[in-house]
Copies of this chain bind each other. A is one copy, B any other.
Amino acid sequence: MSDLQERISASFSAQGLMATLGAQLILVAQGEVRIALLPRPELSQQHGYIHAGVLTSVLDSACGYAALTVAPAGLDVLTVEFKINFVRPAVADRFVAVGKVTKAGKTLTVCQGEVIGEQGARRETIAVMQATIINVSGHS
């Protein structure tokens, strides 16, 4: 593991919510991060499907960490804002949130991402996000 992978892996493990959701960090690359999630009753909305907020949480994290892979050394990142569209029913055996850097700037980084639903051999986009992330002075 590279320094960056170690750093993001450690940060991910420190997130209480990611453990609560059962989310797993499955890819850290320059400008791209992927997080996987299995549906569970504890994460459902009222009809038993996974809650939109859960998919949003992991996709927000994937975009934030993607931004971190391109941030200047020693800086941390914070989500300024994002927008998400839900384009298909959230029904899948596994969900993979993919965050990618669209443009890294000195202060702000823009990411785009999607949640992919995997069901058998099928791969379908369930949600798409556009996010703005800001570089901030790092935590020790």
Contacts and interface: CB of A to CB of B under 8 A. Distances in A.
Contacts of A102: 85, 87, 125, 128
A108 B80 contact: yes
B15 A44 contact: yes
A42 B60 contact: no
A82 B84 contact: yes
Nearest to A13: B46
A20 B86 CA distance: 22
Total copies of the chain: 4
Interface stretch (A26-34, A47-55, A115-123): A47-55
Nearest to A130: B130
A81 to B, nearest CB: 4
Contacts of A81: 81, 83-86, 110, 132
Interface of A: 11-12, 14-17, 19-20, 40-47, 51-54, 56-58, 60-61, 78-88, 102-103, 105, 107-108, 110, 112, 125, 128-130, 132, 134, 139
